[in-house]
Amino acid sequence: MNTDKHQNTGIEPLDVFFDAARAQAPELSQDLRARILADADSAVSVASAPVPQNPTLRQRVGVWLNGWAAPSLAGGLTAAVAGFWFGVVTPMPVAALDAPLWLQDALGYFDAISTPLVGLDDPLLWGF
Amino acid sequence: MVPRDMDAANQDADLLAQFAQGDRLAAQTLTDRLAPRIVRFAARMLGDRAEAEDVTQDTMLRLWRIAPEWQDTGVPPAAWLFRVAANLCTDRLRRRRSGPAEMPDLPDDTPGVDAQMMQSKRAAALQSALAALPERQRQAVILRHLEGLSNPDIAAIMMIGVEAVESLTARGKRNLTALLSGQKEILGYEDEH
């Protein structure tokens, strides 16, 4: 009888448990399979993503402009305009001291602009 | 070699290469060939189906990621997968030791169950006994007697010698026999033969 064989050999009864465990083995669920394949898709996508190529000259200029160059140029232009404007509206005494005599009339033209803005009277008109 | 013949190992390696080239059908085939073995192994190592699924997904993800750099180092993809899964199971078992122990439910002793129920009880009893084994013995017994791998295959997975595998499985079976001996009558296998 098998029972006797099991009891005598001692180790053989384990086969009964092994057989039962193999028969009850967990299977790969469809949900897990789908998750695994989704991971595979992601891995393929990452691996096959296009490698960045050397940018063209136009792209490089675009990047350069969109980086630090455009703001810098804009700032420089603003500073230039502001400097020009302050030069135009400079109080006449300073300009008058530095200007040669033949320019005095020309500077008088700007005086019409600078005077109301600066709020000072033209020293030339004071008789200097 | 984990696969029973070189063809299986070569097929897995070829499929992996095809997958690395973007062949998604190869991923499906590899999943169907390898993932069921990993989920079985992990479930028996951990005694927890949900954790086993997580380990399986993680193991397969690592395979997908290594695919473009896969090189034939003499370890077939299946052996590599079992090795990764074993390490992931070990990590989880270590974390589990720091928390409350989770043991599989022991089968109840309700009399008069049919053959299917008996199978379930035996499987549950074995799972419970496996959980009580030292981890390396458990791993060797599962791979040898439940997954049916050869000792050289197991040696490659566990990165030990064949003699060490034989020793681990022998000690594991002795311990299992001792653990299950008290349940023979409860499980009723004597009545069936």
pLDDT tens column, B113-147: 577 788 888 899 999 999 999 999 999 999 999 99
Compute the nearest-CA separation of B126 from chain A (Å): 6
Residue B62 vs residue A25, higher pLDDT: B62
CB-nearest to B126 from A21, A36, A37 is A21
Least confident residue range of B48-52, B55-59, B81-85, B183-187: B183-187
Fold of B1-102: Rna Polymerase Sigma Factor; Chain: A (1.10.1740)
Lookup: tokens for A39: 């991971």
| Residues 59-118 (A) with a CB less than 8 A from some CB of B | none
Fold of B104-193: Arc Repressor Mutant, subunit A (1.10.10)
* Angle at the Cα of A73 from the Cα atoms of A68 and A76, rounded to 5 degrees: 125
Q: Residue A107: its pLDDT value, please? A: 64
**Segments making up each domain of chain B, as ranges:** 1-102, 104-193
- The alpha-carbon radius of gyration of chain A (Å, integer) is 46
Banded model confidence at residue A93, pLDDT cuts 50, 70, 90: low
A104 CB burial (10 A radius; 0-12, 13-18, 19+): middle
Q: Residue B164: its pLDDT value, please? A: 96
Residue B181 vs residue B41, higher pLDDT: B41
Q: Do B180 and A25 touch (CB under 8 A)?
A: no
Banded model confidence at residue A28, pLDDT cuts 50, 70, 90: very high
Give this complex's ipTM. 0.83
Task: Measure Cα distances from B140 to A54, B29, B55, B129, B179 in Å.
Answer: 53, 27, 18, 14, 17
**DSSP helix/strand/coil, A11:** coil
